[in-house]
Amino acid sequence: MQSIQEILLTIRSVKLTDLDSWRERLVVWVAAMTAGFIVVMFAKAAEYATSFFFSLQKTSWWLPLVVTPAGGMLIVWITNRWFLGAGGSGIPQTIAALQDKGSRSEHPKLIGLKLAFGKIFLGVGALAAGFSSGREGPSVQVAASVMHAFRRFLPSGFSVHPKHLILAGGAAGISAAFNTPLAGIVFAIEELGRHFEQKTNGVIITAIVLSGLVSMSLEGNYTYFGHITVGKIDKDIIAPIIVCGLVCGVLGGIFSRTLIESSTRMNGKLGVFRALHPLWWAGFCGVLVALLGAISDGAAHGSGYIFTQNILNGTNTSTWQYAPIKYLATIFTYLSGVPGGIFAPSLSIGAGIGNDMLPLFGHYHAATAISVLCMAGFLAAVTQAPLTSFIIVMEMIDGHEMVISLMAISLIAAIISRIFSTPLYSTLADKQISSITNDNQKPQTNME
């Protein structure tokens, strides 16, 4: 049993009586709850924007042919004029901010409240215009910006580096966006912070817990796609894991390589046109997305949430064309330069690939499991973050019975993807850092 002196020493070591330490904790708690609240509001605004676009499309099939390109041009113009650094999902910008050599840099071109506002406003606008994007990736930069902004309220001698607020905010953003707290922690370790320090644990976990509590209090304790019944999982799933892992690995690797290659100057006449006329280029990409939407009854637009849910629930009426159409629409959206993420579209593409591969496994009765496997496999191939991919899918469908299967296909797909592409987010983050270090070069606006 501890003596009185030992107990008092323990209390002093954890700073339970230190007012500055309590102020430090309070600032972090308020920052995390604020970030969670803003991410939830972002999600609600994105839902309204998506509903608005689809209601517009139902009014007249040709309206997207006008709204999408015009909206893309306006969004890119606003981004280039006032919100440089807000393009794409913001995950590379967040990673770049963490890798910045400046020990206490303000990261004005990567992280900030102005960029967070622009990300939300323009990201919602991109969905309202009908582009194929998601709000989950942008939530990383938004939450990281919000938490980092609270550093000014910390007492002097703060025990955790301000950059750790960026790391914690990014993790909280993923957690609150998908309501997947475990995936938020793994995402922080695997993707955002390659060097995970013990003293950062408390900040990250606290941010995820508090942002998650705010999310649950506003939207309830839900799973992103609801509880999905996948049926019996046995040895028959081994063949689908291998085949789907190979297919998703190849397609995801090519997808990732395309985004990376297009982040630099394109060759040929199209490259010259894109460099000289970014607004017209955004309009051209918008036309392509609108045309894909016209021939697919709207499947090319939005994050793909509704179509994915229909596939998982067995009420899907889409043809085999859904996956390739969503695949191309997401690439064209990225090329346009509008802010928007690829997390949700990648999950949707994966579900479509799984739906198309069902005839190959006609003997296998757990048909929904094939789509779930491909969701994790394609996301892992695109991001080359297999741990985050399988955990996020597992939490999104409440599918703990598939944990081994999801883990296996994510690892296979990520390994195959490396044949075709370098890691997407870290590569784009390196490009972001290179562009910022050159004083004469503006930050790229189509970073995903």
At 384-426, the pLDDT tens digits run 999 999 999 988 887 777 888 999 999 999 999 999 999 999 9
What are the phi and psi torsion angles at 301 (to 5°)? -95, 160
Mean pLDDT of 162-170: 85
Residues 210 and 298 in one domain: no
> Is residue 131 one of the residues assigned to a domain?
yes
Phi-psi domain of 234 (left: phi exceeds 0; alpha: psi -120 through 50; beta: other):
beta
169 and 302, same domain (yes or no)? no
Residue 212 has pLDDT above 90, yes or no: no
Q: Does residue 212 share a domain with residue 249?
A: no
Once rounded to an integer, what is the mean pLDDT over residues 251-263? 93
> Does some domain include residue 128?
yes
Last residue of a domain, one of 219, 252, 277: 219
* Sign of the C-alpha dihedral computed for residues 42, 308, 377 and 393 taken in this order: positive
**Residue 440 pLDDT more than 50?**
no
Give a yes or no: residue 6 inside a domain.
Answer: no
Could you tell me if 167 and 291 lie in one domain?
A: no
pLDDT, position 235: 76
Residue 311 falls inside a structural domain: yes
- Residue 45 maps to a domain: yes
Q: Are residues 119 and 146 in the same domain?
A: yes
Output 150 or 88, whichever has higher pLDDT.
Answer: 150
Residue 335's nearest CA partner among 405, 265, 392 is 265
Domain boundary at 186, 219, 252, which? Answer: 219
Residue 432 and residue 384: Cα distance in Å, rounded?
A: 19
Same domain, 31 and 86: yes
pLDDT tens digits for 266-285?
A: 777 888 888 889 999 999 99
Does residue 448 lie in a domain region?
no
CATH number, domain containing residue 248: 1.10.3080.10
Q: Which of 157, 146, 152, 144 is nearest to 21 (CA)?
A: 157
Q: Which domain holds residue 181?
A: 13-219
pLDDT of residue 11: 47
Tell which of 219, 244, 277 closes a domain: 219
The number of domains in the chain is 2
Judge contact between 380 and 390, C-beta under 8 A: yes
Q: How confident is the model at residue 10 (pLDDT cuts 50, 70, 90)?
A: low
| 73 lies in the same domain as 181 | yes
Q: Per-residue pLDDT averaged across 151-155, rounded? A: 81
DSSP 8-class letter at 111: S
Q: Is residue 242 part of a domain?
A: yes
Residue 442: inside a domain: no
419: its two tokens = 């044949």
